[in-house]
Structure 1
Amino acid sequence: MRSLPLAIAAAALLLAGPAPAQDMQNLLDQAGKALDQAGRRVQQGYEDTAKAIDQAIANPQDPAYGSLATRLIRSDVLDSAQRPIGEIADFVIAPNGQVLLAIVRIGGTLGVGGRLVAADYGQLEPVLMKGHPAFVYKGDLGALPDYKVAAGN
């Protein structure tokens, strides 16, 4: 953020002793502009979040707009030719709410058997397949190491 360095510079000028009034006014003007710009960015962030929530509510089956995680569990994972290669078993979510990994079951039949792998969530592209949420994986799921759940979890 630019406003913090400007505030520090203003404090340093005040502590340094008398300064020309014009220099002080310029510095205060720059600090005011930086604060106004930061306020506009925060407001835009709120508006973008509200729009995303409205789109997720209006398009509950389309993961491109966001969705409840429970609706995405068991969603198909597709290859680049949109052939099923696995299904979503779970997600790993950071404390800040960012989805980090998708736990994908590959090689099983109807959710039974197979193995679990942890795929980088950024490698999954949400799509709508026959009216249901699905994900296209941009890589080779079979090349990923097995995902093991720690004992006691």
Structure 2
Amino acid sequence: MMNCKVLIVSDSHGMTGELQELYNRHAVDVYIHCGDSELPAAHPALAGYSVVKGNCDFESAYPTNYVEKVNGLSIFVTHGHLYNVKMTLQKIWYKAKEAGAQVACFGHSHVMGAELIEDVLLINPGSILLPRGRRERTYALLDVQNKQATVIFYELSGKEVAKESFVLQ
């Protein structure tokens, strides 16, 4: 039985107070930063976050990707630049499948979205600094109850922007 809540943020490009604000705003099982924080790994704004290395990050302590397991859910986390996510989601989908993940979280394109491709839910939270395709600076909250996954996108202020539901396998 999969039950968990996950906060997903990406492409904060040097922002600090906002990351701490999101951490304090939402009580979740895991906090994920999909890269391009442009902060050192020991920075207090990243306390509590699991972070990957983006193309604008020079911190060697960050992994390029990892798998987060939380309450029966397996989440593949990467920035996306190594998988050409601006052009296609096929490579990241294959990598998530290879890792045995039901969910893949990534950033890089600064475009928010969630899409279920076969049995992998792909989530890009957008950017809390420089969004593309919309004005709102966004992040995402994934709520999984049994096999029902709900992805809620919020703007930085906490106002809900969009909500989508999916059934995981």
Question: Is the pair's TM-score, using the shorter chain for normalization, greater than 0.5?
Answer: no
Which structure: greater helix fraction? Answer: 1
Q: Which has the larger radius of gyration?
A: 1
- TM bucket normalised to smaller: under 0.3
Which structure has more RCO (C-alpha within 8 Å, separation ≥ 6)?
2
Q: More strand by proportion, 1 or 2?
A: 2
